[in-house]
Amino acid sequence: MHTEAIDPPGISWQRVSPKYVTVRLVQWALGNLITVLVLCLPLVLVLLGWWRWPPLWLAILVPAAALVLAVWRLVLIPRQVRAIGYAERDDDLLIRGGIFFQRTMVVPYGRMQYVDIGVGPVERGLGLCTLKLHTASPGTNALIPGLPAAEGARLREQLSARGEARLAGL
């Protein structure tokens, strides 16, 4: 399906590091492979003849479906990572993400309460970090994952300085 972007036109997005794909791959492996393996357990037990109840077709179908879904997600990962973008405008920061389920978010600098930088074990190995913006609203789920560490630090300082200049109340 042709996917037209919903974000405002005329914005040049900065993309996150392609290395972030690796982080997502590790997350994917941890999540999906374990699920598939657990779902395969009844199949093994049925094949060994220890269990009688799940008929063979069901025991095969469930993990197979999970596997297909997992592979589908795996295929999507590089595209999803490419879809993540951010843009610093004069008064606000734009963050976009997703292809199928698109989201474009605008966070005014004056509304930022604080900026977090988080680094997970895999990210640390790749020299990446995740930037998180917090406003007074719990609904603001503004994450920029997969930033190179230096760019993350620069962005953090930049956002803090701009936030300071445009401070607004609640």
Nearest Cα residue to 162 out of 122, 86, 102, 109: 109
Closest separation in Å from C-beta 163 to another protein: 4
Give DSSP secondary structure letters for 13-38.
Answer: PEEPPTTHHHHHHHHHIIIIIHHHHH
- Whose tokens are 């895999």? That residue is 122
Q: Which of 26, 78, 104, 132 binds another protein (CB under 8 A)?
A: 104
Q: Which of 52, 53, 101, 121 binds another protein (CB under 8 A)?
A: 101
DSSP 8: P
Count interface residues toward another protein (CB under 8 A). 57
Closest separation in Å from C-beta 116 to another protein: 8
Q: Is 146 helix (H, G, I), strand (E, B) or coil?
A: strand
Measure CA 72 to chain center: 16
162 binds another protein (CB under 8 A): yes
Which segment (32-40, 64-72, 110-118, 121-129) binds another protein by CB under 8 A?
110-118
Cβ closer to another protein: 5 or 39? 5
For another protein, the binding residues in 7-46 under the rule CB under 8 A are: 7-8, 12, 14
Q: Which of 42, 70, 111, 128 binds another protein (CB under 8 A)?
A: 111
Closest separation in Å from C-beta 136 to another protein: 4
Distance between start and end Cα atoms, the chain: 41
Q: Which of 61, 114, 124, 125 binds another protein (CB under 8 A)?
A: 114
Q: How far apart are CA 60 and CA 27, in angstroms?
A: 25
